[in-house]
Amino acid sequence: MADLSTGYMGLELKNPFIVGASSLTSDLNTLDRIESAGAAAVVIKSLFEEQVALEAHVLQEELTRYNDLHAEMVSVMPTLRHGGPEKHLYWVERAVRQMDIPVIASLNAVGIDTWVEYSKKLAGTGVDGIELNIYSLPLESDLHSETIEADHIDIVERVKEVVDIPVSVKLSPFYTNPVNFIRVLDATGIDGIVMFNRFMQPEIDLSDLGFMYVNDYSSPNDHRLALRFAGILSDLVQADICASGGIHSGEDAARMILAGASCIQTASALYKNGVDHIGKMEGELATFLDNKGFSNLSEAKGMLSMRRSKDPEAYSRAHYMRMLRIPVRTDL
């Protein structure tokens, strides 16, 4: 059987399958099952700025409550224990101790101070790497894209200054020119780039004219966005590319590797099929490599990237022009 091992931001992985940050990776029992199913690494569910803010709020409330009882009690309050980020950090530490495969923490902050402080704290749990989940949804109509991009680069540079474990960034596809932005990001010395996060979109409930919250899982064809950018960027950046979004089978994973990704992350496929599906994906990838005569993953990696492929136009607008030339069907 072909050797599936690969490297990702300095970590040795036994295969390219990483379970993406999600509620699947927020529970020790499921993590156990994910490891048994054959995953090479996991990204723990993100610690969100809202959790940090909630803790600050709870702490403030507690301080105020005790203040009212006895002013001097404030000095003894730092020993207070409460949920939120501290609980998350404790839990991540337990996951690290429990698992043999690499464990990557994930952080989604807003303020730069939170990014820096909690990256340090997450690194202190013993994780093998940190994924910065830069998930911003700017609503200010006068905020320019350069300002947003400069802020994102600042987050990465500041975090890299304070931690000495590998750092990756999980990106949104919604940059004006993702190719340019990712190259600028790469120049920071970032270790991994996860392309892309998937955004939950609002839905209107027509029955009560309100909103409803739906499980917005990806579908197999959604992998093509990551495929395009993995193919374009894999020859242009030093950082390892981890493809994410709509990867539901070993064949999808094979496509990402051929485009130049070092590994893949998956979440929706496991929600839909159960965590054991990771073993099936692994088997499918091995079968593909064997059938095509590859003895290891590196032989296939990047073979169909934009630079190395004989058909680089597939990644560009030419693909679109080709689609437009398909004869119009009148029988539909």
Ligand X SMILES: Cc1cc2nc3c(=O)[nH]c(=O)nc-3n(C[C@H](O)[C@H](O)[C@H](O)COP(=O)(O)O)c2cc1C
Q: Which of 232, 236, 172, 240 is nearest to 200 (CA)?
A: 172
| Tokens representing residue 92 in the block | 């991540």
**217 interacts with ligand X by CB under 6 A:** yes
Residue number with CB closer to ligand X (44 or 232) = 44
> x/- string (CB under 6 A) for ligand X, residues 223-252?
---------------------xxxx-----
Strand-pair partners of 244: 265
Beta pairing, strands 17-19 & 11-13 = unpaired
Q: Closer to ligand X at the Cβ: 17 or 294?
A: 17
Strand-pair partners of 167: 130
- Which residue number, 21 or 130, has a Cβ lying nearer to ligand X? 21
Sole binder of ligand X in the list 22, 119, 125, 262 (CB under 6 A): 22
Binding mask 254-273 for ligand X (x = CB under 6 A): ------------xxxx-x--
* DSSP label at residue 173: S
DSSP 135: -
Query: Footprint of ligand X on residues 281-300 (CB under 6 A)?
Result: none
Q: Which stretch binds ligand X (CB under 6 A): 20-28, 93-101, 154-162, 310-318?
A: 20-28
Question: Count of residues for the chain?
Answer: 332
Pairing assessment for the beta strands 11-13 and 6-8 based on DSSP bridges: antiparallel
Distance CA 74, CA 331 (A): 77
Contacts with ligand X by CB under 6 A: the residue count is 22
Distances (CA, A) of 309 to 182, 231, 318: 21, 9, 15
Q: Which of residues 94-123 bind ligand X (CB under 6 A)?
A: 106
Query: Shortest distance, CB of residue 194 to ligand X, whole angstroms?
Result: 7
Out of 21, 92, 171, 263, name the contact with ligand X by CB under 6 A: 21
> Residue type for 80, please?
L
Check residue 165 and give left, alpha or beta (phi > 0: left; psi -120 to 50: alpha).
beta
Using rule CB under 6 A, residue 152 touches ligand X: no
Told to check if 125 binds ligand X by CB under 6 A, we report: no
Q: Under the criterion CB under 6 A, does residue 45 sit at the interface with ligand X?
A: yes
* Binding residues for ligand X (CB under 6 A): 20-23, 45-46, 106, 133, 170, 197-198, 217-218, 244-247, 266-269, 271
